[in-house]
Chains A and B, each alone.
With several copies, the nearest count.
Chain A
Amino acid sequence: MKRSAEQRNMSDPSVFREGCRIVEALLFASADPLSGEELASRLPRDVHIADILARLREDYADRGVTLVEVAGRWTFRTSEDLSYLLAREAQETRKLSRAALETLAVIAYHQPVTRAEIEDIRGVSTHRGTLDSLMETGWIRLRGRRRTPGRPVTYGTTDAFLVHFGLTVVDDLPGLDELKGAGFLDGRLPPGFSVPVPSDDPSLREDEDPLEEDLFTRLAEEKASEVEEPLSDGEDA
């Protein structure tokens, strides 16, 4: 692979170098991560973007900024080990409450997941404010509706979530294998039937229906009916 990459690009090393400079410039200048396709569209035709990205990754491996892949796109980030120095640059990020963080984790690992399922896992009813504040971060989204009685809304994570936590894909979630192995990703008991994995694939699952066009009406309805919602009793009904 490495040899073939070199072979591919050996034809004209100066073209490859120029390609590296172009990608470097684009990634430095962009406020958002860029996909391989976006980058490739600005390159000479005979230069392979994958080779360039590999080369840049290597070039920057030991530097103060590194090339990382997040949400399937590429971007430069300050090196992790320097975070102690840059803490001063940190903008005042809103600190998520413990409940919100836990809810976010449940959504990330169990997506697509309904509010009732979140509550079953956490053993506590979810305050509307918790989901609202998560929606506000832009890290979670409404996916669709579960095809079960009541047609509850399903939640999932967004690309912004992956970008924020520096994840390439949702499969890279830390500790995912342990959770999977223990059968904890299967919301329904008993464990061991099937081992679902979280998926933020935008296409709906078999048991998901699309959200109505008039989502706002539905959300308003939901909000209005929320008071009557029975509190989770901490045990599966």
Chain B
Amino acid sequence: MRKELAFEDPVVAVDRGEAEPALVVDVDGFAGPLDLLLELARRQKVDLHKISVLALAEQYLGFIEAARSFRLELAADYLVMAAWLAYLKSRLLLPEPAKGDEPPAEELAQRLAFRLRRLEAVREAAKKLYDRPQLGRDVFGRGAPEPVRIDRKRDWDASLYDLLKAYAEQRQTKALSRVSFAKRFVWSLAEARDALDRLVGGGLDWTVLDDYLMAFVVDPAQRATVRASAFSATLEMVREGLIDLRQDGAFTPIFVRPRRPDIEEGASSA
């Protein structure tokens, strides 16, 4: 409870003289209403089993009344308990209704008495627990424990297979990375012109240019350079009036034939 709850006379209950009937209570010393009730019950100086709950309720209500007359603010749980005890008191004093939904007043009283006994028992247990030899207070462990030294032994995981694979792979990679620049093959325009001149000399009719050129291609990789140089050469030869070129559509084969004066008209009509 709060500081402002302290009574003028801060005498703790246990200091009270044997014969002193006055209720002198240090509210600060109580841990809640049940604790206060337990203290009040102890003052009945009877076994908690034989406690008069009615008397207890009256004492508690008297305490609350006294506290109020001092204009002390009481925490809500004290007031709730007071209300409940006032209710219990009236139930205990009045004759029991024949049949009620509520449990009989006697049972309510016994429940309260039970809770008080239980709280007291738990407190005793707590004290017994506290009185046990506690580590670091009454008994001590080894002050200088000797730590277990952990020798970390590293085991490296590598198999012969890993080793050989690593060796072979790097040697192979390295060996193959020694690139030599292969000389690039280029079919020169002169070579193309020579080849096409032979075509003209052969006196063939329309010929697919690619089919004709393939005869000169040694390596498929040379196809591009052969085609490029040959096409350039054919354009030159058309300009010179040596051959006719014909293509029927995009990406269709290019036809080529030697130009001959006798079929000039036909060619121009194509």
Contacts and interface: CB of A to CB of B under 8 A. Distances in A.
A–B contact, 8 Å CB criterion (strictly below): yes
Interface of A: 25, 28-32, 75-80, 83, 86-96, 98-99, 101-102, 104-106, 108-109, 120-125, 136-137, 139, 163-167, 173-176, 178-179, 182, 184-186, 188-191, 193, 195, 231-236
B34 A124 contact: yes
Contact of B172 (A91, A108, A185, A234): A185
B156 interface: yes
22 contacts: A28-B142, A29-B142, A31-B143, A75-B144, A76-B142, A92-B153, A95-B157, A104-B158, A105-B164, A108-B163, A121-B122, A122-B119, A122-B170, A137-B154, A163-B135, A165-B163, A166-B139, A174-B129, A184-B121, A186-B172, A233-B81, A234-B32
Interface stretch (B18-26, B89-97, B174-182): B174-182
Given A106-B167, A179-B122, A234 B158 contact: no
A103 B149 CA distance: 33
B122 A29 contact: no
Contacts of A164: 134-136, 156, 158
A96 B160 contact: no
Contacts of A189: 111, 114, 172, 175-176
A125 B34 CA distance: 11
A85 to B, nearest CB: 8
B136 A190 contact: no
Point out which of B115, B119, B124, B138 has the most chain A C-beta atoms below 10 A from its C-beta: B138
Interface band, chain B: 35 or more
Nearest to A180: B168
Given A102-B126, A106-B122, A186-B172, 10 more contacts: A29-B148, A83-B137, A91-B136, A93-B136, A93-B154, A102-B170, A123-B170, A165-B163, A166-B134, A174-B164
A86 B149 contact: yes
B157 A99 contact: no
B77 interface: yes
B115 to A, nearest CB: 7
A175 B172 CA distance: 14
Nearest to A233: B80
Contacts of A109: 122, 125, 167
A123 B117 CA distance: 12
A108 B198 CA distance: 64
A94 B155 CA distance: 6
Point out which of A123, A178, A182 has the most chain B C-beta atoms below 10 A from its C-beta: A123
Contacts of B122: 102, 105-106, 109, 121-122, 179, 184
Point out which of B122, B142, B165 has the most chain A C-beta atoms below 10 A from its C-beta: B122
Contacts of B157: 93-96
B155 A93 contact: yes
